[in-house]
């Protein structure tokens, strides 16, 4: 039976203007009327690898008439010799026949304004289905969160040798483990040699538990998750763990950073929500990123639910899910304990949003 102290459900993928996905996640933001040569004019952009190995790329832009798309296996070296696709300022294209790679990157080059480089959000690791890039979202003021710098995941204990080799090629330098002592001992992280391992126990206990909640009803499962989310904001152990995390992400010497818990959705989910909020990503987008865990964990959650007695399935499903009300309870706790999110960062965690933005935003 899976750890009751873990995470949630539901994926919102709405097609349409103003909803944006970079590498498979959603984002929204303010829409500038015109793009200057210094601005990234894309309001929305999506890269998603299909089951057949093709790539579907969508974008929406402001003041752009033509976009050229270039592909590369190296995020930092995208040669503009031959475009793999081109279309107008708002379009969806399919790119086929690129071949195998750890990750394909796509540079969207507009006829005015700065280009944007994206990849599929998922790394498609069979042993870690919730392993994904944490960046690639547009902020409310028109910047973009870098991809290829910080990654979130579920447990790394069962990664294959090939998976570990891929992490090394991704340049993972720091691995942050949000689990309890017993979770970490039962399933030690598999990380590339030379990666700095950081133990940052969010719960502050040696073993996970249900917090005294019985899972005989859905309401009890929901109550347990809401209480756990609030603790991730206000408990001393959680604030210490998230201070460690945000400090590492802001430090170029620590990058690239990989952070995780057991399912990669609750403790890891608040870590991502706090980081994206600090970077200025709209709240709606933060929720959409959070809810993506329901999609990536759908198969493993279904198997886990089928393995428990039918009498506790409603409560257990509430624990396996990510739900908007769980994350909202975390933001409610921020308001109750600190007043504003900026004060939570400053007084609760002792970190600087300005430093995070300088490090992680482009455009």
Each residue of 11-23: pLDDT tens digit? 222 222 222 333 3
Q: Is 355 exposed, middle or buried (0-12, 13-18, 19+ CB in 10 A)?
A: middle
Backbone angles phi, psi at 15, to 5 degrees: -85, 135
**Is residue 58 included in any domain, yes or no?**
no
Torsion of CA 13, 16, 21, 27, to 10 degrees: -90
Predicted local confidence at residue 194, as pLDDT:
96
Predicted local confidence at residue 210, as pLDDT:
59
Predicted local confidence at residue 208, as pLDDT:
67
Q: Which residue has the tokens 């949630």?
A: 8
**Is residue 13 included in any domain, yes or no?**
no
Distance (Å, rounded) from C-alpha 264 to C-alpha 242? 15
* Residue 330 tokens, joined: 């975390």
What residues of the chain score a pLDDT lower than 50? 1-35
> Which is nearest to 55 in space by CA: 19, 107, 109?
107
Predicted local confidence at residue 362, as pLDDT:
94
Look up the CATH number of the domain holding residue 362.
3.90.190.10
What residue numbers bound the domain in which 273 lies? 145-363
Backbone φ/ψ region at 359: left (φ over 0), alpha (ψ -120 to 50), beta:
alpha
Is residue 240 helix, strand or coil? helix
Predicted local confidence at residue 36, as pLDDT:
54
Please list the residues that pair with 97 across neighbouring strands.
none
DSSP 189-207: ----TTPEEEE--SS-SSS
**Is residue 336 included in any domain, yes or no?**
yes
* Residue 322 tokens, joined: 């990510």
Predicted local confidence at residue 205, as pLDDT:
85
**Is residue 186 included in any domain, yes or no?**
yes
**Is residue 224 included in any domain, yes or no?**
yes
Torsion of CA 171, 247, 352, 324, to 10 degrees: 80
Predicted local confidence at residue 216, as pLDDT:
86
**Is residue 172 included in any domain, yes or no?**
yes
H helix or E strand, kind and range, residue 226: helix 218-234
Predicted local confidence at residue 37, as pLDDT:
60
**Is residue 232 included in any domain, yes or no?**
yes
Q: Kindly report the pTM of this predicted structure.
A: 0.88
Q: What angle do CA 351, 354, 360 make, to 5 degrees?
A: 100
Predicted local confidence at residue 17, as pLDDT:
27
Number of domains in the chain: 1
**Is residue 127 included in any domain, yes or no?**
no
């Amino acid at each position: 039976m899976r750890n009751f102290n873990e995470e949630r459900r539901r994926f919102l993928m709405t097609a349409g203007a103003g909803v944006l996905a970079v590498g498979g996640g959603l984002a929204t933001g303010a829409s500038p009327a015109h793009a200057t040569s210094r601005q990234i004019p894309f309001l929305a952009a999506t890269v998603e690898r299909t089951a057949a190995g093709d790539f579907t790329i969508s974008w929406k832009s402001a003041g752009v008439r033509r976009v050229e798309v270039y592909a590369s296996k190296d995020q930092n070296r995208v040669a503009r010799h031959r475009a793999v696709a081109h279309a107008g300022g708002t379009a969806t294209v399919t790119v086929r026949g690129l071949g195998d790679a750890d990750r394909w990157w796509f540079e969207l080059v507009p006829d005015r304004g700065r280009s944007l480089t994206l990849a599929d959000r998922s790394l498609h690791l069979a042993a870690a289905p919730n392993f994904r890039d944490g960046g690639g979202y547009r902020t409310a003021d028109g910047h973009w969160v870098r991809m290829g710098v910080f990654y979130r995941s579920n447990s790394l204990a069962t990664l294959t040798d090939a998976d570990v080799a891929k992490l090394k090629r991704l340049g993972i330098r720091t691995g942050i483990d949000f689990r309890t002592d017993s979770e970490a001992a039962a399933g030690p992280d598999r990380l590339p040699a030379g990666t700095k391992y950081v133990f940052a126990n969010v719960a502050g206990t040696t073993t996970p538990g249900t917090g005294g909640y019985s899972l005989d009803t859905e309401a009890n499962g929901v109550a347990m998750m809401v209480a756990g989310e609030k603790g991730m904001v206000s408990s001393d152990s959680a604030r210490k763990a998230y201070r460690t995390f945000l400090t590492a992400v802001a430090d170029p010497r620590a990058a690239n950073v990989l952070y995780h818990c057991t399912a990669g959705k609750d403790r890891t989910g608040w870590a991502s929500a706090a980081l994206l909020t600090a970077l200025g990503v709209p709240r709606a987008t933060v929720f959409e990123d959070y809810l993506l865990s329901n999609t990536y964990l759908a198969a493993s959650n279904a198997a886990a639910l089928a393995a428990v007695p039918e009498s506790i399935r409603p409560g257990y499903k509430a624990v396996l899910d990510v739900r908007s009300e769980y994350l909202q309870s975390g933001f409610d706790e921020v308001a109750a304990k600190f007043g504003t999110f900026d004060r939570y960062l400053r007084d609760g965690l002792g970190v600087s949003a300005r430093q995070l933005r300088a490090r992680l935003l482009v455009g």
